[in-house]
């Protein structure tokens, strides 16, 4: 079986890749390989045109019905209605297009991560070339600060470390080795003799041979996964699609029935149907189609989502796509990265062992002489660059070494003063063979070598322990194990007194790093965010399961997960390798029990998201690295970190956290739940109002001959459009801005398989719509018989006017009923937007009624005082009836 690149020794690699360790490739080899492998650049994703994006906005069944209604309006010479409907369609499409602006930047961001130039050996000479010209077999020179230009195998490492967190999720820089790794199936984060395209060299220097370029690299594979991941409809989009089809079928059915009844009546009464009858039937059908479809609903949902988006920005969450605002509220699984999201992304000393006792480190820790000495030595044997800018310490260096500096700051020691007063005279840099670092300094009582490194190595070189009369290293060995079991990264600090007369440059490891005095052990970890624990508890109350997915080692992940109450005693943690060895059946069987995944690959993350989605859950996936991008895009709601996140992750995400905080996700979920609840209220309101309009027209058409001795038009298309677009829409938007309910996060996530009309909402909409329709038809009947002595045409216009006013105003009053299905409107939190909308809608309606110009447009007339008294009574009737039903329901429950 062919060996993996990390399993081959250097000689095997040179032969298999036909390269030369000393001279690199020749020009002829480079030319030939460019023809065979192509250039070292990632494929570009084809962008959708603005026209196609615009089409996406109108590619909806409800929109098609609206367009059909506008065409009917033009055919029947109802030009104003036709243009009004088309204007609605256009405005909604533009709102969606410009609010979402979902630019696909992920691949461009991946390309931007590649270093523009790299140092290689060609024809025996070191040259600088464009990264795209790198090819398989090239010998690459790597120095601190360089991006790794392709996937490479390390062939020389002098303290070489790379930051692979964007690719693997590993929190700490990875020390690189040259030796072959014999094991099979080694996780990406453990392939320490490989370097990966897009990662960065943070320390040391070395050489490497290029093994893969372009789309064959790990970065390229992620880019492929990203481009193959298709966007899917959100729960809200799916619900709205079903609603649109239901309403469209309803509209077409009712329209056909009324059309048939109108023509049938003509044949029954007159024996024929004249052109005027056919035209009247068609006009009535158009009015019904307009009444059945809530024209403003798409735009109202867009506006409510956009306002929700702006509100979330104030709470440190930037939403990149409008539907994602609501999807948050449906979330039942949050797959969260550990580093920086659940933790502080800051290696922190939390425990010290010295003088045979533990010291917990926090802001209240009281210093001791032993702790002071340990802190002093740890700060000196350290390559962190420290300065003070604007009264704040600025630290540049390895996270582990920065932790020593932070320890000094916690203990009220000035690290800049420590470094200045104890100048480094000599050093032996850290390397992977010795696993130690040594620096030499002069103190008041003499010259000392200070050693920091792996505890097991330093224990073996210790002849004395600070604070002990007799050497007892076992207590430190036990403490080292205990701290490691707590997932702490443990380093030992020791020292050795030197003879000042000895030439420092002649000293070697055996002179400085033997016969040591052990000073103590330092335990550090990237600690959990304090607010993350409360947020996870809130998730548990809300029925949301938190899953930790990280590139870190499993021990570290488990420790943090237990601290945050993510992992209980009955649940399990596994590695990416464990997951690879599971078939789908075994994985699905254990899915509910697995709460922690460690050392995972990008493919693992996508598989985890897929599994939960197949289980019917709405999944949110967080991440910051390139390796997170495919799973971020695959999830129902992809979340990227704004501070530490790569541009690739941000480009693939639906939401970006500006504070990288898990608690912000939970806050956003509560906002999303509120937004959906409010959208539901808007739908409840609009549909009950539209059913009221249908009932009004239906009763006029079917009962007109019996009650009014002939067919009557209770409402015209233009009157319905006015109510739907102006008065109703403002109130619906106000309902979309209802305050958050107190118990919103004590409810279980909504079942996305359930209809939007589930849990009794459909019944309420139908009954309340029937109530509004009966009240409006009653207004027509009353208006007709109040004008008993008038001509038929005068009766009709008076009755239509009363119906139009009662319909509009009763719907405004009904909006207050919809605020809560159980609580009295007099006990709800104040929603100032409802009163603004009521005032504006009422003013617009009264302008239409009282201005002669607008009365002519809407075909209405003036009314007497007695008629207005009747109108007010009818308008308040829905509120009285619904409030009474709420009282009865509360008493029964």
Q: Are 437 and 429 in contact (CB under 8 A)?
A: yes
What interhelical angle do 399-410 and 369-380 show, nearest 10?
140
Task: Indicate the fold that domain 348-525 takes in CATH.
Answer: Calcium-transporting ATPase, cytoplasmic domain N (3.40.1110)
pLDDT value at residue 703: 81
At a CB cut-off of 8 Å and minimum separation 6, what does 441 contact? 380, 422, 423, 424, 425, 447, 448, 450
Query: DSSP 3-state assignment of 780?
Result: helix
- CA 376 to chain CA centroid, Å, is 43
Closest CA to 92 of 71, 72, 66, 70: 66
Query: DSSP 3-state assignment of 655?
Result: strand
Using the CB atoms, write b or e for 381-415: b if 16+ within 10 Å: bbebebeeeeeebebebbbbbbbbbbbbebbebeb
Domain boundaries, the chain: 5-37+108-216, 235-312+668-892, 348-525
Q: Are 355 and 467 in contact (CB under 8 A)?
A: yes
Superfamily of domain 235-312+668-892 in CATH is Calcium-transporting ATPase, transmembrane domain (1.20.1110.10)
What interhelical angle do 235-270 and 662-708 show, nearest 10?
0
pLDDT < 50 regions, the chain: 99-115
Apex 754 CA angle, 753 and 758, nearest 5: 175
pLDDT value at residue 255: 73
Apex 593 CA angle, 591 and 595, nearest 5: 90
pLDDT value at residue 720: 79
Q: Assign residue 599 a region (left: φ > 0; alpha: ψ between -120 and 50; beta: otherwise).
A: left
337 annotated active-site: yes
Closest CA to 376 of 352, 395, 396: 352
Tokens representing 164 are 């692979």
Alpha helices in 367-519 (DSSP H): 369-380, 399-410, 415-421, 455-459, 474-485, 509-512
* Annotated active-site residue in 60, 138, 151, 337: 337
Residue 177 CA to residue 589 CA, distance in Å, equals 39
Query: DSSP 3-state assignment of 447?
Result: strand
Using the CB atoms, write b or e for 313-338: b if 16+ within 10 Å: eeebbbbbbbbbbbbbbbbbbbbbbb
Q: Are 552 and 399 in contact (CB under 8 A)?
A: no
pLDDT value at residue 99: 45
- pLDDT tens, residue by residue, 725-742: 777 888 988 998 898 888
Residue 319 CA to residue 519 CA, distance in Å, equals 51
String of DSSP letters for 258-293: HHHHHHHHHHHHHSS--HHHHHHHHHHHHHHHHHHS
| Torsion, Cα of 222, 174, 380, 465 (10° steps) | 140
pLDDT value at residue 716: 79
Q: Assign residue 329 a region (left: φ > 0; alpha: ψ between -120 and 50; beta: otherwise).
A: alpha
Task: Indicate the fold that domain 5-37+108-216 takes in CATH.
Answer: 2.70.150
Tell me whether domains 5-37+108-216 and 348-525 share a fold.
no
pLDDT value at residue 465: 95
Residue 247 CA to residue 239 CA, distance in Å, equals 12
């Amino acid at each position: 079986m062919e060996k993996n690149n990390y399993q081959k020794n250097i000689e095997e690699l040179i032969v298999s890749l036909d390269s030369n360790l000393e001279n690199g490739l020749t020009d002829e080899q480079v030319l030939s390989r460019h023809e065979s492998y192509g250039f070292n650049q990632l494929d570009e994703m084809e962008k959708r045109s603005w026209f196609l994006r615009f089409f996406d906005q109108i590619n909806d069944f409800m929109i098609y019905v609206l367009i059909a209604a506008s065409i009917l309006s033009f055919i029947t010479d109802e030009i104003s209605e036709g243009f009004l409907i088309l204007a609605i369609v256009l405005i909604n499409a533009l709102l969606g297009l410009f609010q979402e602006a979902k630019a696909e930047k992920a691949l461009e961001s991946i390309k931007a991560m590649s270093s523009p130039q790299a140092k290689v050996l060609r024809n025996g000479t070191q040259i600088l070339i464009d990264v795209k010209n790198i090819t398989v077999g090239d010998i690459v020179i790597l120095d601190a600060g360089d991006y790794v230009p392709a996937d490479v195998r390390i062939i020389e490492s002098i303290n070489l470390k790379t930051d692979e967190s964007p690719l693997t999720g590993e929190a700490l820089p990875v020390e690189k080795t040259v030796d072959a790794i014999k094991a099979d199936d080694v996780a990406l984060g453990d392939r320490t003799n490989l370097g990966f395209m897009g990662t960065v060299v943070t320390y040391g220097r070395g050489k490497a041979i290029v093994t893969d370029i372009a789309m064959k690299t790990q970065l390229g594979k992620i880019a492929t996964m990203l481009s193959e991941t298709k966007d899917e409809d959100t729960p809200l989009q799916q619900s709205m699609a079903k609603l649109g089809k239901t309403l469209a079928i309803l509209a077409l059915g009712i329209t056909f029935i009324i059309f048939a009844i109108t023509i049938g009546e003509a044949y029954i009464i007159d024996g024929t149907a004249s052109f005027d009858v056919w035209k009247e039937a068609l006009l009535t059908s158009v009015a019904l189609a307009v009444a059945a479809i809530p024209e403003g609903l798409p735009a109202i949902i867009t506006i409510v989502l956009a306002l929700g988006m702006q509100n979330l920005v104030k709470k440190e969450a930037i939403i990149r796509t409008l539907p994602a605002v609501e999807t948050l509220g449906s979330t039942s699984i949050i797959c969260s990265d550990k580093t920086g999201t659940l933790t502080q992304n800051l290696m922190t000393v939390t425990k010290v062992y010295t003088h045979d006792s533990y010291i917990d480190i926090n802001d209240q820790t009281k210093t001791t002489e032993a702790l002071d000495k340990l802190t002093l030595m740890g700060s000196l044997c350290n390559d962190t660059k420290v300065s003070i800018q604007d009264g704040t310490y600025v630290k540049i260096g390895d996270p582990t070494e920065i932790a020593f500096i932070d320890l000094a700051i916690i203990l009220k020691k000035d690290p800049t003063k420590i470094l200045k007063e104890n100048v480094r005279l000599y050093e032996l840099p850290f390397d992977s063979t010795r696993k130690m670092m040594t620096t030499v300094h002069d103190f008041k009582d003499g010259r000392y070598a200070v050693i920091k490194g792996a505890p097991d190595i330093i224990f073996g070189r210790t002849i004395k322990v600070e604070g002990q009369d007799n050497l007892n290293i076992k207590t430190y060995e036990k403490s080292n194990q205990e701290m490691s079991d707590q997932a702490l990264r443990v380093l030992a600090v020791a020292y050795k007194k030197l003879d000042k007369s000895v030439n420092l440059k002649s000293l070697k490891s055996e002179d400085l790093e033997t016969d040591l005095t052990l000073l103590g052990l330092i335990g550090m970890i990237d600690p959990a965010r304090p607010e993350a624990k409360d947020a996870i508890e809130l998730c548990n109350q809300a029925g949301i399961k938190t899953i930790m997915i990280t590139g870190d080692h499993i021990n570290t992940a488990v420790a943090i997960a237990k601290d945050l109450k993510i992992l209980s005693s009955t649940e399990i943690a596994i590695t990416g390798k464990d997951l690879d060895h599971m078939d789908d059946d075994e994985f699905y069987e254990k899915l509910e029990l697995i709460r922690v995944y460690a050392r995972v690959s990008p493919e693992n993350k996508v598989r985890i998201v897929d599994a939960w989605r197949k289980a019917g859950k709405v999944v949110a996936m967080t991440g910051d690295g390139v390796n997170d991008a495919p799973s971020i895009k695959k999830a129902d709601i992809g979340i990227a970190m704004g501070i530490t996140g790569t541009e690739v992750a941000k480009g693939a995400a639906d939401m970006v956290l500006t504070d990288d905080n898990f608690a912000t996700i939970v806050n956003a979920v509560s906002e999303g739940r509120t937004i959906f609840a409010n959208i539901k209220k808007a739908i409840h309101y609009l549909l009950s109002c539209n059913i009221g309009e249908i009932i009004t027209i239906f009763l006029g058409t079917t009962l007109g001959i019996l009650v009014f001795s002939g067919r009557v038009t209770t409402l015209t298309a233009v009157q319905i459009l006015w109510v739907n677009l102006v008065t109703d829409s403002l109130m619906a938007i106000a309902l979309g801005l209802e305050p958050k309910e107190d118990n919103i996060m004590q409810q279980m996530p909504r079942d996305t398989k359930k209809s939007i009309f589930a849990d009794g909402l459909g019944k309420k909409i139908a009954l309340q719509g029937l109530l509004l329709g009966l009240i409006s038809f009653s207004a027509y009947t009353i208006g007709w018989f109040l004008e008993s002595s008038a001509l038929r045409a005068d009766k009709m216009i008076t009755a239509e006017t009363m119906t139009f006013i009662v319909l509009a105003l009763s719907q405004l009053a009904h909006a207050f009923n919809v605020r809560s299905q159980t609580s009295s409107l007099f006990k709800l939190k104040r929603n100032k937007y409802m009163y603004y909308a009521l005032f504006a809608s009422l003013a617009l309606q009264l302008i239409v009624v009282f201005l002669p110009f607008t009365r002519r447009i809407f075909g209405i007339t003036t009314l007497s005082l007695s008629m207005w008294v009747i109108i007010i009574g009818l308008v308040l009737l829905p509120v009285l009836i619904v409030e009474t039903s709420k009282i009865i329901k509360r008493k029964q429950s």
